[in-house]
Chain A
């Protein structure tokens, strides 16, 4: 009854020209122009043959030639890639452990851990950076732990610290939505604790998320922080991933069970 009234009412209302629709389209066009403008500009100006970034002096590939031949640039790219990969690995490993723990235990330690991670979330990156600098100096110079004098190690550590809370809260959000019966079933079927984790795709959620932003840093995920009950990034990633994921993974996924679209 209800459904029929909705369907008979729905279409004609939609067909009416919505005066707000034009405004929405203008807004959308404006926002997307705003979001993409500097990126498009950077792409175009990368073909600038002039020496100054902003002064156009003709089209060419000089900048690209330099980028692939200049040893300093190549080293910098290499260091970025290596530190990104290692920071992702370490942060994903630690964050997965933390997320599973927070989702599966309810002790006062879990609360303390949440609070500490929340503090790292509200710490501006610049404070993370300036606070770790004297500590590295202490460890490396005064403590003779020479590994902390290595710039690459320092980068991996700081990026891991910045991403840790994000990954933890994301994994926790996903785990909290998952039925513990699935894990119990897996353990009844003789899967080890580690094997139970793997097929559910939580790692796949946290890792690219962090990797994409490793160089930029803070990427809070509000899913389970006290001020919000939504997990928007999981959702966003999930949407991108869902088309390619195996049906079995979808079946495990609470979001697919809830909303079949």
Chain B
């Protein structure tokens, strides 16, 4: 009975999987493949976005030279600084949520992180536009308090983009860290303290290594969408805060140079995948390192 059931379900599983394969192929990988093909082409004239009659790597060369490469570096700096800031703010905050705050509040605290995150990305970013406006209420308030001398000069600069991305992606650091910390064992922390470790030592040598997968997931969840962000630099960045996402969207929209835009898209994607692999490798090395040093410690004790 169960054998028949199982073989039948395996057969129907093969059929069931058809829609998702079809969707992936037809709406994600064929389009990506087309763009990959375009990236070897060129823009033949004013009214045509792409032609592949001559294949070359020139678009990749073009995308990695001059002003474009500057934007790539800007994006990378914003991405790394943004991820670092999210770690600095998000890790202690998540630790407080998961360990220090009263257990009956935790559900509410998670909800309070999720609600801003679920609010439209664009609307929140426009909220920052109002706050940072040089003649807005915040600027006036700071001037009335004599904290600054002139109107704040942040909007439409890189600083505004930096603030915006930290704001927009912070929940993606807090939530995985929260779950990771919540799963750490309080008894281990107590044991560490009883064995004479200070507060910080207990955190860095017991709790944080335990929560390392959360840190890794959080970093990737922040870094990946941040690198391709289009909305934040468009709303807050202006001419002084350009990012790659805007640049490649421009090639597909106003500039109508699909070949160049495609090359940029693949450079960005290759870069992101390389980063993911690099971070994964670092994680493995770190974990092996931690395990290795601990093993020696234990042997010494034994």
Cβ-defined contact, A42 with B127, below 8 A? yes
**A117-B24, A122-B276, A216-B120 given; A232·B126 CB < 8 A:** no
Complex Cα gap A112–B243 (Å): 32
Beta-carbon contact of B269 and A127 below 8 Å: yes
**A124 contacts B224, CB within 8 Å?**
yes
* A27 to B: closest C-beta gap in Å: 6
Which of A63-71, A97-105, A198-206, A245-253 touches B? A97-105
Q: Mark B123-167, 1 if CB is under 8 A from A, else 0.
A: 111111111010111000000000000000000000000000001
Contact B131 A37 (CB under 8 A): yes
How many angstroms from the CA of A5 to the CA of B114 in the assembled complex?
Answer: 38
Q: Main secondary structure on chain A at its contact with chain B?
A: helix
Q: In this assembly, does B302 line the interface, its C-beta being within 8 Å of a C-beta of chain A? A: no
A230-B213 in contact (CB<8A): yes
Bitwise, B16-57 to A at CB < 8 A (1) or not (0) is: 110111011001111110110010000000000110000000
Contact A35 B111 (CB under 8 A): no
Q: How many residues of A contact B (CB 8 A)?
A: 83
Q: Chain B residue with minimal CB distance to A24? A: B96
Q: List residues 197-216 of chain B with CB under 8 A from any CB of chain A.
A: 199, 213-214, 216
Q: Given the complex, which residues of B lie within 8 Å of A45, measured CB to CB?
A: 130
Interface pair A231/B228, CB less than 8 Å apart: no
A75 to B109, CA, bound (A): 36
- A164–B23 contact, CB under 8 A? yes
Q: Does any Cβ of B come within 8 Å of A189's Cβ?
A: no
Residues in chain A near residue B12, CB distance under 8 A: 193
Q: What is the interface residue range for chain B against chain A? A: 35 or more
Report B-chain residues with C-beta under 8 Å of the C-beta of A132: 27, 31
* Set A121, A212, A230, A239: member contacting B176, Cβ < 8 A: A230
Asked whether A239 and B107 contact (CB < 8 A) given A124-B224, A126-B228, the answer is: yes
List, sorted by A's number, 18 A–B pairs whose CB atoms are closer than 8 Å. Answer: A27-B89, A39-B116, A39-B123, A39-B124, A54-B133, A97-B16, A113-B24, A122-B224, A131-B34, A134-B50, A135-B27, A168-B20, A212-B118, A226-B280, A227-B279, A230-B180, A230-B183, A240-B111
Interface positions of A (Cβ within 8 A of B): 6, 20-21, 24, 27-28, 31-32, 34-42, 45, 53-56, 93-95, 97-98, 100-101, 104-105, 109, 113, 116-117, 120-135, 138, 157-158, 160-161, 164, 168, 184, 187-188, 193, 212-213, 215-216, 218, 220, 222, 225-233, 235-236, 239-240, 261
Q: A42-B127, A133-B252, A188-B2 are in contact. List 16 more A-B contacts (CB 8 A).
A: A28-B96, A28-B97, A37-B131, A38-B128, A41-B127, A42-B124, A56-B137, A94-B23, A116-B29, A125-B230, A134-B258, A187-B5, A215-B120, A230-B213, A230-B217, A232-B175
